[in-house]
């Protein structure tokens, strides 16, 4: 069993027989009384969002998930297809099950697919991915006050803020946990 103090972003818990992943987490300690843990969670099967506040003495069951290393093959409309690298078995996940992971997914990328009761429900990406910049507007000095960044679009269609020296055609490293720029990749 997990307690409310174990809650953090990315933790997978079981509530009413369904697996949930914590997508946002906020801790507050009022002057009197118990600490409060406000969580935003996503049902890993249906994709529904749940916002709940827990007290420090609340308990959770850890979600019993199986993991298998698989390779992303392609997406077809709203379905994303994967292949088990050991037995070549193929399966698909919906866009809702994938969540923000679609922003970093490239063909032939190795991922870990999570299973709950024998059904695929989510994937775990590598912590860092290298993606090519497909659109970068020119940066004009003085456009911002103090924060020198500009928006770019990478090959998956994901848009993020990067330093002004990043150009179209560069490859950049992105942290898949936060969706933020890490560094420019030299190749």
Q: pLDDT of 101-122, one tens digit each?
A: 899 999 999 999 988 888 888 8
Q: Which of 158, 149, 148 is nearest to 178 (CA)?
A: 158
d(CA 158, CA 169): 15
Same domain, 181 and 140: yes
Task: Please state the pTM of the whole predicted model.
Answer: 0.69
Residues of the chain with pLDDT under 50: none
Q: What is the structure's pLDDT at 58?
A: 87
- The count of domains in the chain is 3
Residues 49 and 90 reside in one and the same domain: no
> What is the predicted pLDDT for the residue at 142?
61
**Is 70 in the same domain as 50?**
no
What is the distance between the alpha carbons of residues 50 and 121, in angstroms, rounded to a whole number? Answer: 17
Closest-CA residue to 97 (of 109, 80, 75): 80
Which of 46, 62, 78 finishes a domain? 62
Pick the last residue of a domain from 62, 83, 114: 62
Identify whether residues 46 and 74 lie together within a single domain: no
Residue 101 phi, psi dihedral angles, 5° rounding = -60, -25
- The CATH number of the domain where 16 resides is what? 2.30.30.30
pLDDT of residue 94: 87
Centroid of chain to Cα 60: 22
| Structure confidence at residue 145 (pLDDT) | 56
Per-residue exposure over 6-41, b if at least 16 CB sit within 10 Å of its own CB, e if not:
ebeeebbbbeeebbbbbbeeeeeeeeeeeeebebeb
Which phi and psi angles does 6 have, rounded to 5°? -85, -10
Indicate whether 133 and 105 sit together in one domain: no
Q: Determine phi and psi for 24, rounding to 5 degrees.
A: -140, 150
E strand or H helix at 98: helix 95-98
**Judgement on whether residues 139 and 170 belong to the same structural domain of the protein:** yes
Q: Which CATH number characterizes residue 71's domain?
A: 2.40.50.140
Q: Give the C-alpha distances (Å, rounded to integers) separating 16 from 33, 50, 61.
A: 27, 13, 10
Domain limits at 16? Answer: 2-62
Please say which residue of 124, 141, 163 terminates a domain.
124
Q: Residue 123: name the closest of 133, 113, 134 by CA.
A: 113
């Amino acid at each position: 069993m997990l307690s409310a103090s174990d809650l953090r972003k990315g933790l997978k818990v079981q509530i009413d027989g369904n697996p949930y992943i914590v997508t946002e987490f906020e801790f507050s300690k009022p002057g009197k009384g118990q600490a409060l843990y406000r969580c935003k969670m996503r049902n890993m099967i249906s994709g529904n969002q749940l916002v709940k506040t827990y007290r420090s003495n609340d308990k959770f069951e850890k979600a019993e998930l199986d993991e298998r290393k698989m390779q992303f093959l392609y997406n077809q409309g709203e379905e994303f297809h994967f292949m088990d690298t050991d037995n070549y078995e193929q399966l698909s996940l919906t866009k809702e099950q994938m969540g923000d992971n679609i922003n970093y997914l490239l063909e032939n990328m190795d991922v870990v697919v999570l299973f709950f009761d024998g059904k695929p429900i989510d994937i775990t990406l590598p912590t860092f991915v290298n993606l090519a910049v497909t659109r970068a507007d020119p940066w004009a000095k003085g456009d911002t006050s103090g924060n020198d960044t500009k928006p770019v679009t990478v090959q998956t269609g994901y848009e993020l803020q990067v330093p002004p020296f990043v150009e179209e055609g560069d490859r950049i490293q992105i942290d898949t946990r936060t969706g933020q720029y890490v560094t420019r990749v030299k190749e």
